[in-house]
Amino acid sequence: MKDKNTIKQYIDQLRGYNTSRMYLNDFFHTWKESDDEIAATFAVAEILRGLRENNISSKVFDSGLGISLFRDNSTRTRFSFASACNLLGLEVQDLDEGKSQIAHGETVRETANMISFMADVIGIRDDMYIGKGYTYMKEVAESVEQGYKDGVLEQRPTLVNLQCDIDHPTQCMADMLHCINYFGGVDKLKGKKVAMTWAYSPSYGKPLSVPQGVIGLFTRFGMDVVLAHPEGYDVMPEVEQVAYENAKKSGGSFKKVNSMEEAFENADIVYPKSWASYAIMEERTKIVETGDKEALKALEQRCLQGNANYKNWECTEEMMAKTKDGKALYLHCLPADITGVSCKEGEVAASVFDRYRDPLYKQASFKPYIIAAMIFLSKFRNPADKLQSLLNEAKPRIK
């Protein structure tokens, strides 16, 4: 738990970061944010968490809506977005496309403006189809920007990427903040080996955005990041290029291997997670566009058969023993496919998952604060001053 002096130290750090570009802007991909902007997001998340721990209200909105649109199932991200909005004083309204006029041909531009009259933030999760999710988010953002410029909207809602086909910024930033706290600071991360590895799952079509988000962010901290997967399970080459460039700038490294064992060897952090290959995700998107249900079923069966060739890609006790001192930090975005628990054979052995259950829950607990920080930084030109005023006023959250 942070005391008020620690919160003040974070606020002082925040004053040293240039966040001017975040004001009245959206948050899409971590690699599009500067080092200062990433650091500021972490700092504000820590401050907001500290305020809540000290029973200090962080409500900066007296009214307003946070609009949530989830085009894929979600537990953690859905509730994290709702928690973040509530923490700042916003009420959440879900956009259920099945109950809207979208089914009757309402355009994206029209929908975006109609839901935004009193909205301060729009959170969207659209991660299933390559070339679709981020494109849709950009169209929503451009629509509300034009609505604001035309005087239709009194304010321009911030758009927060709650997971698209390319990146999962709220997840990977929560992962990183967990690592920062676990290892005792950003300065302790340099030289740490991170194994972002594919793992077997009895399901198909899991998005690429988590492994891409991890290699796109963790390489910025001077870490030695290894992306491991069987041949053919590649991620987007442009994101790999981002990882290579980040590693070069930060003094870390990035490499690809086709061996889970090699990736786990002497690793400080392991992140075994299933995903579908970039090529398969592209193929699935094209099939969905044609509406050919039989072709989609055939693709699914082909993918499941392919996955079955790599059931040995599992995070077992033997695999964990290869890590540094046998005690690497195990990460997962959850829910994990747990062997003998949620499935017959999966990503992680039950004994490994059980040992790391509390750290995994702590990892997930950072996400509401990361999302709240993204919203906060988009709404205040001088975020440190606003946070200092909240600390000074110290209005109790629970009266």
CA distance 241 to 95: 35
Residues 6+ apart with CB under 8 A from 287: 295, 296, 299
Mean residue pLDDT across the chain: 96
Q: Which CATH architecture has domain 4-167+367-393?
A: 3-Layer(aba) Sandwich (3.40)
pLDDT digits (tens, 9 = 90+) for 129-168: 999 999 999 999 999 999 999 999 999 999 999 999 999 9
Query: What pLDDT score does 100 carry?
Result: 66
pLDDT digits (tens, 9 = 90+) for 292-320: 999 999 999 999 999 999 999 999 999 99
Query: What pLDDT score does 104 carry?
Result: 58
pLDDT digits (tens, 9 = 90+) for 222-248: 999 999 999 999 999 999 999 999 999
**What is the average per-residue pLDDT within 167-195?**
98
Number of H helices, E strands in the chain: 16, 11
Task: Please name which of 121, 142, 114, 112 lies closest in space to residue 68, comparing C-alpha atoms.
Answer: 121
Token pair for 395: 């209005």
pLDDT band at 338 (very low <50, low <70, confident <90, very high): very high
Token pair for 261: 């064992």
Q: Which CATH architecture has domain 171-363?
A: 3-Layer(aba) Sandwich (3.40)
Largest CA distance in the chain: 62
Q: At 317, which amino acid appears?
A: E
Query: What pLDDT score does 91 carry?
Result: 98
Query: What pLDDT score does 102 carry?
Result: 66
**What is the average per-residue pLDDT within 314-331?**
98
**What is the average per-residue pLDDT within 60-72?**
96
Ranges of each domain in the chain: 4-167+367-393, 171-363
